Structure 1
Amino acid sequence: MSEDIKKEDVKDIPETEEMKAGETEETAAETDTQETEAEETSQKELKGGFFKKKKDPKDEKIEELTDRVKRQMAEFENFRKRTEKEKSTMYEMGARDIIERMLPVMDNFERGLAVIPEDKKEDPIAEGMEKIYRQLQKVFEEAGVKPIEAAGNAFDPNFHNAVMHIEDESLGENIVAEELQKGYMYRDSVVRHSMVKVAN
């Protein structure tokens, strides 16, 4: 028994020393790993954490100039849109002005044609007036000018201007009995209201 214990004791001694040596190596490896992690953490903190690097003056200048260019481009785009809108508005105003000046000419043609007797409608002068009138109508139509429907329709203050009122049982309430002067629209806006006689 004593010999066996002695042999076991002798075997245990080298094993214990090897274990101690292994533990020492593991401890040293853990220490190295901790030191490496600490260095990496400190480098990260230096890069983007506590101690930020100051921007290069050139980069700052580039950012400033880029921002200025973007602002100027936006201002120019706004100016272009505003100018286009103003030009469109000016064109509309100019077109309306010309149409308003031409309407009395159209009225006079209609009045002149209305008083020509039936037996004189084939005369060269009457035919010439009729052709000019039709040509004028075509020009107005191509420009977007169209007459407002009035006679027989319900009175609408947006399109009609009532100057007379009559009682007529054959017509309904607020019906346009007669058109005294033709009204016109340019595109979607009224250039001149129809002058009308309203019944009931």
Structure 2
Amino acid sequence: MSEENGAQNPNQNTPPADAPSELQKLQEQADKFKNDYLYLRAEFENYKRNAIKERSDLIKYGGERFIRDLLEIVDNFERATAVQVTPENLPTYKQGVEMTATELKNLLQKNSVTEVPAEGAPFDPAVHEALGAEPSDKVQPGHVLRVFKKPYKYHDKVLRTGQVVVAKKPE
């Protein structure tokens, strides 16, 4: 009869009094994790966007320092072409052009561009392009006899193959 009077049965499954607060804690924790995830996702998107921009700028403007140094050498060459060469100033003019050429070679070396020694070296198709072969006693057969264009490397990569004539056995 107590059930009919509206009294509750103590054996009935009812949540404990602190259950809503436990559920609320879990919901808050889930919301916190969701916010952390969204924040990290946004941060990663910003990072990707910035990395792409940096890479693009590096490709676009990466040679700026080299170009600035090169322009100094170009100025020297322009001054040399403006000089009226006479027999009296020819030795000085030649010395000035040689100094400018040395500056250019130093700039290349400073930027990891190096000449690959070719004359007398064994022919290497990865570094040399054979324009022909000539009989010679000066160097061994299969070695570089003459160089038309010097080979260059940028760090460890061949930047330009050298154009060479390869020695062969005299007949």
State the TM-score, normalizing by the size of structure 2. Answer: 0.58
Do residues 141 (structure 1) and 104 (structure 2) align?
no
Moved over 6 A (4+): none
Hey, what does 2:39 align to over in structure 1?
69
TM-superposed deviation, 1:184 = 2.0
Give the whole-Å Cα distance in 2 for the aligned partners of 1:159 and 1:91.
Answer: 29
Q: Distance in 1 between matches of 2:140 and 2:61?
A: 41
> Which one has a bigger Cα radius of gyration?
1
- Gap regions ≥5 residues in structure 2: 1-15, 17-21, 78-87
RMSD: 3.6
Counterparts of residues 10-89 of structure 1 (less than 5 Å): 56-89=26-59
1:147/1:183 contact within 8 Å kept:
yes
Q: What CA distance in whole angstroms lies between the structure 2 residues aligned with 1:56 and 1:193?
A: 68
> What percentage of residue pairs aligned between the two structures are identical?
22
Q: How many angstroms apart in 2 are the aligned matches of 1:73 and 1:173? A: 63
Task: Say which of 97, 113, 118 aligns to 1:150.
Answer: 118
Cα gap change, 1:170/1:182 in structure 2, threshold over 3 Å: closer, same or farther?
Answer: closer
| Structure 2 residue aligned with 1:196 | 164
TM-score, scaled relative to structure 1: 0.51
Q: 5+ unaligned residues in a row in structure 1: which ranges?
A: 1-45, 47-51, 110-119
Amino acid of the residue matched to residue 113 of structure 2? Answer: V
Tell me the alpha carbon deviations over residues 33-70 of structure 1, each in whole angstroms, 9 at most, x when there is no partner.
xxxxxxxxxxxxx9xxxxx9586433322111111222
Q: In the alignment, is residue 161 of structure 1 matched against residue 129 of structure 2? A: yes
Q: Is 1:172 the equivalent of 2:140?
A: yes
CA distance in 2, matches of 1:127, 1:87: 40
The count of aligned residue pairs is: 131
